[in-house]
Homo-oligomer: A and B are copies of this chain.
Amino acid sequence: MKSGISKKRKGESAGRRRGPRGEMRTRIYHYVQQRLLAGDPPSVREIRDHVGLRATQTVQRHLDGLIVDGRLERDTSGRSRALRLPQPQPQPSLVPLLGRVQAGVLTTAIEDPEGFVPVSGVRVGDGLFALWIRGLSMEGAGILPGDVVIVRKQSDANDGDIVVALVDDEATVKRLRRRDGRVELHPENPDFDVIVPDSLTLLGKVVEVRRFLEGAPGGV
């Protein structure tokens, strides 16, 4: 045993409950939840060691109970570290929050973000990034300077979608309009002009807008 638990004679503590009924299960639940929220799923032995039990089978039975209660889920493919948070407690994913994005360096910016924002797991982490809003061009849509938009990477979008496109080699957020077979990028502020790009380089579609009235997102 690696955990410093004192050597006991065979069977010495078998069956011993240390606290009120249900306490161990609650302790296990909180430890697993914390580990899963941290993005670091625990093995059964790690759980065992953390809560001070000696047998993995005891942990398993508690986990079985938590799964029956719907508080945890298990990936049944036979892989290791298979616990999951269930709906409606989605496993959060972290989306890279980028600084300035210019033509050609999106991949680099994603690999070296200035921070991260957590999103619900239903959005599946691949293909998302987050950007700061810096201007007033989308004010009418309730998107203000200092907001963060979460963007799903895609190279096409529908009429009416709010998108991130490259204009003059700089990323900009606008509403996409299709007029007579042509693409237009519309601001949501009469003080800004409609942009008609010669060719559209679309980085993605805005799927979420966030405003932080106090503090900044994690890691910034």
A residues adjacent to B (C-beta < 8 A): 29, 33-41, 43, 71, 79-81, 87-96, 111, 113-126, 139, 142-144, 147, 152, 162, 205-215, 217-220
Contact of A41 among B81, B147, B208 (CB under 8 A): B81
A126 touches B34 (CB 8 A): yes
4 residue pairs, one from A and one from B, having the closest CB atoms: A88-B219, A90-B218, A120-B218, A92-B118
A-B contact pairs, 13 of them (CB 8 A): A38-B39, A38-B124, A38-B126, A39-B91, A88-B218, A88-B219, A90-B94, A90-B219, A92-B118, A121-B218, A142-B142, A208-B210, A209-B210
CB distance from A19 to the nearest CB of B (A): 15
Q: Which among A121, A210, A214, A218 has the greatest number of chain B C-beta atoms within 10 A?
A: A218
A215 touches B89 (CB 8 A): no
Given contacts A213-B208, A217-B120, contact A89 B79 (CB under 8 A): no
Residues of B within 8 A of A121 (CB): 38-39, 218
Residues of B within 8 A of A162 (CB): 213
Q: Which among A37, A87, A125 has the greatest number of chain B C-beta atoms within 10 A?
A: A37
Question: In chain B, what residue has the closest Cβ to A206?
Answer: B213
Residues of B within 8 A of A220 (CB): 88
Contact of A38 among B111, B125, B205 (CB under 8 A): B125
Residues of B within 8 A of A88 (CB): 113-116, 218-220
Question: In chain B, what residue has the closest Cβ to A144?
Answer: B142
Contact of A210 among B79, B111, B210 (CB under 8 A): B210
Residues of B within 8 A of A81 (CB): 41, 80-81
